[in-house]
Amino acid sequence: MANNITVMKFGGATLATPALMKGVARRIVETRAQGRDVVVVVSAPGKMTDELIAKARAITDEPDEREMDMLLATGEQQSIALMGIALKSLDCDAISFTGPQVGIVTDDAHTKARIVKMGGEKIKTALRLGKVVIVAGFQGETENEEITTLGRGGSDLTAVALATALSAGICEFFKDVDGVYTADPRIVPEAVRLPRLAYDEMLEMASLGAQVLYNRCVEFAKKNKIVLHVRSSTKPEPGTLISEEVAQMEGVMVSGVTHTKKEAKLTILWVPDQPGIAAKIFSRLAAEKLNIDVIVQDISEEGSTNISFTISQDDLSRAKKAVEKLVREIGAKGFEADEHVGKVSVVGVGMRSHSGVAAAMFEALAEKGINIQMISTSEIKISCIVAEDRVEEAVRAIHEKFQLAKLA
Ligand code: ADP
Ligand code: ASP
Ligand code: MG
Q: Which residues of 73-92 are buried (b: 16+ CB within 10 A; e: fewer)?
A: bebbbebbebbbebbeeeeb
Q: Give the per-residue pLDDT at 252.
A: 78
DSSP 8-state class, residue 193: B
pLDDT > 90 fraction of the chain, expressed in percent and rounded: 91
Q: In this structure, which amino acid lies at residue 129? A: L
Q: In what order do the strands lie in the sheet with 196-198?
A: 94-97, 132-136, 37-42, 5-10, 170-175, 227-232, 240-243, 196-198
Instruction: Report how far residue 14's alpha carbon sits from residue 10's, in angstroms, rounded to the nearest whole number.
Output: 6
Instruction: Inform me whether the pLDDT recorded for 187 exceeds 70.
Output: yes
Check whether 196 has a pLDDT greater than 90.
yes
Nearest to 210 by CA among 244, 179, 180: 180
The pLDDT value recorded for residue 1 is 45
Please tell me the distance between residue 176's alpha carbon and the centre of ligand 2 in angstroms: 14
> Angle at the Cα of 384 (from 380 to 390), degrees rounded to 5?
135
- Nearest-CA residue for atom 11 of ligand 1: 212
The helix or strand, by DSSP H or E, that contains position 176, with its residue range, turns out to be none
Average pLDDT in the 166-190 region?
95
Please report the pLDDT score of residue 355 as a whole number. Answer: 85
- Mean pLDDT over 132-141 rounds to 98
Say whether pLDDT at 316 is over 80: yes
Query: pLDDT at residue 300 above 90?
Result: no
Among protein residues, the one with the nearest Cα to ligand 1's atom 25 is 180
> Global pTM?
0.93
Q: What is the pLDDT of residues 237-254, one digit of tens each?
A: 999 999 997 766 556 789
**Ligand 1 centre from 406 Cα, in Å?**
21
Q: Cβ < 6 Å from ligand 1: which residues?
A: 11-13, 43, 153, 175-177, 180-181, 183-186, 210-212, 256
Q: How far is the CA of 75 from the centre of ligand 2 (A)?
A: 9
Ligand nearest to the CA of 149: 2
β strands within 167-319, DSSP E: 170-175, 196-198, 227-232, 240-243, 256-272, 295-297, 304-312
Q: Is the pLDDT of residue 169 over 80?
A: no
Please report the domains of the chain, with CATH numbers, ordered by start residue: 2-176 (3.40.1160.10), 257-407 (3.30.2130.10)
Chain segment 97-107, per-residue pLDDT in tens: 999 999 999 99
pLDDT of residue 249: 57
| Range 214-240 average pLDDT | 96
- Average pLDDT value for residue range 232-240: 95
- 322 φ/ψ angles, rounded to the nearest 5 degrees: -65, -40
According to the model, what pLDDT value does residue 250 have? 54
- The pLDDT mean for the chain works out to 95
Mutation to probe ligand 2, out of 42, 48, 147, 152 (largest number of atoms < 8 A from CB):
152
What percent of the chain stands above pLDDT 70? 98
Taking a 5 Å cut-off on Cβ, the residues next to ion ligand 3 are 153
Task: Tell me the ligand closest to 15's alpha carbon.
Answer: 1
| DSSP state letters, 94-106 | EEEE-TGGGTEEE
CB 294 within 8 A of CB 374: yes
Residue 186 has pLDDT above 80, yes or no: yes
> Which residue has the CA at smallest separation from atom 8 of ligand 2?
153
pLDDT in tens, 322-347: 999 999 999 999 999 999 999 999 99
* Best of 155, 212, 213 for a ligand 2 pocket test (most atoms within 8 Å of beta carbon): 155
pLDDT, mean of residues 299-311? 92
The mean per-residue pLDDT over the stretch 30-58 comes to: 97
CA-based torsion, 231, 232, 234, 238: positive or negative = negative
* Lowest-pLDDT range of 43-47, 189-193, 349-353: 349-353
Q: Indicate the burial class of 335 (C-beta count within 10 angstroms; 0-12, 13-18, 19 or more).
A: buried
Residues with Cβ within 6 A of ligand 2? 11-12, 43-44, 49, 75, 137-138, 152-156
Q: Stretch 186-196: mean pLDDT, rounded?
A: 96
- The residue-averaged pLDDT of 269-285 equals 94
